[in-house]
Amino acid sequence: MKFFDIIVGTVTLFSATAAAVRIGDCAGDGGGIWQNQEKIKAIGAADDYKDHGDPFCETKYKQGVVINEIEVWANSEVVRGIRFGYSDGTSSSTHGKAEGDRNQKIQWDSAHDKVEKITVWGNGIGTRVGKIQIETLSGKKLEVGRDIKKQTPYELEVGGGIILASYGAQGFDINKIGFLVIAEPVQHVTISDVVFADDIKAQYAKKQGIESKVLYSTTFENNQKLNQTFSFWNTITKTIERSVTETLTTAWGTTVTMELSAEFMGIGPSFGLQERFDITYAQAEEEKTAKTTTLTWHHDGTVPVGGIVGCVAYTESGSMDSDYTSTVTVDIGLNGKKFQFKENGHLKSMGWAQAQSVCGEGKSAADLEKEILKQNKGRRDVDEDGGIDAVRRVARGMLGA
């Protein structure tokens, strides 16, 4: 279907659609991430109009940044100027002129609100953009430009509701304008290839961020005439906390999965931490998540006649606080389309190792606790081959566990 602007009172029809030159990062198909190429069109000056103006391209999508603010200036005849704001807080320069008695601005949170409708009108004679209207799902609306009579509106495809780019041509006014939107809704975002600024292995070797903690202790005494058996066991729930600060992934408005190696806490793979966890961003750039883990121990033994056995359950907690670089992958729609960009972030994390228990004949629980903590403190500077397992073996040998 071909659309035309109509000059009321005449039979002359002027086409407002035009194949404006897309330059820079607005050129091409964007790797297939924006709408169907056949449906991309710029509205304004006709192809045969001699003063097309200077082409422009506004986009930062390759850096993971989207457009979430648009301000328009106009008078009663044409759109004079336009400026764009980005999800990273920056703004473009003004294209055209920030002049005219009609001025509106629309700003939306791309993580929680999507563009539902983009409509553009020509100026009725095929030389300029006449009016721009943008609506979001939450009901926000920009509508600024000439007084529309019987002109045909050009409703542009909005795809997944995220504006990746805008392009067109400018001079003293806005000659043409078009929008490039993400083809389909974003399904998922994954943060991978995380590289920390701090050397995790070096931290682990020096036991930085690692602290031994006693979970429970007791002393078994035998005042009977026969040896007595005992069972030292329990279960305790602890909280694993993570705080991830990202500046760009918040714009995509979906669950983000962060993939990390088992060493990311700086305390080694013996902690059995999950390598993937999900983040659902709220308004803030910093997302705090917490989950619980169960620490269980069980130790059976025998208390000799007239003797005592002290038992202690302990674990180690580890913390990580570091900047990182990563690769962010955005999965689009159900057709396997995706694109990637690099992102910097910061991770704070607190986790727990599996519980360990030791029992020592002839020792009270209080004395045993002191020995365990003293032994661990003496091992804080062990080399990488020592680690937690070496501390555990020495403790067992010393305490007769």
Q: The domain 5-183 belongs to what CATH superfamily?
A: Jacalin-like lectin domain (2.100.10.30)
Residue 209: CB partners within 8 Å, gap ≥ 6? 203, 265, 266, 267, 318, 319, 320, 321
Contact between 363 and 307 (Cβ < 8 Å)? no
Question: Which secondary-structure segment (H or E) carries 58?
Answer: strand 54-59
- What pLDDT shows up at residue 388? 28
Q: What residue ranges do the domains of the chain occupy?
A: 5-183, 187-399
**In this structure, which topology does domain 187-399 adopt according to CATH?**
Proaerolysin; Chain A, domain 3 (2.170.15)
CA nearest neighbour of 227 among 287, 160, 296, 306: 306
- What pLDDT shows up at residue 52? 75
Residue 178: CB partners within 8 Å, gap ≥ 6? 20, 22, 40, 41, 42, 43, 156, 166, 167, 168
* pTM of the complete model beyond 0.85: no
Q: Which residues of the chain have pLDDT under 50?
A: 1-15, 18, 206, 262-275, 280-285, 378-401
Quote the CA–CA distance of 343 and 325 in Å, as a whole number.
6
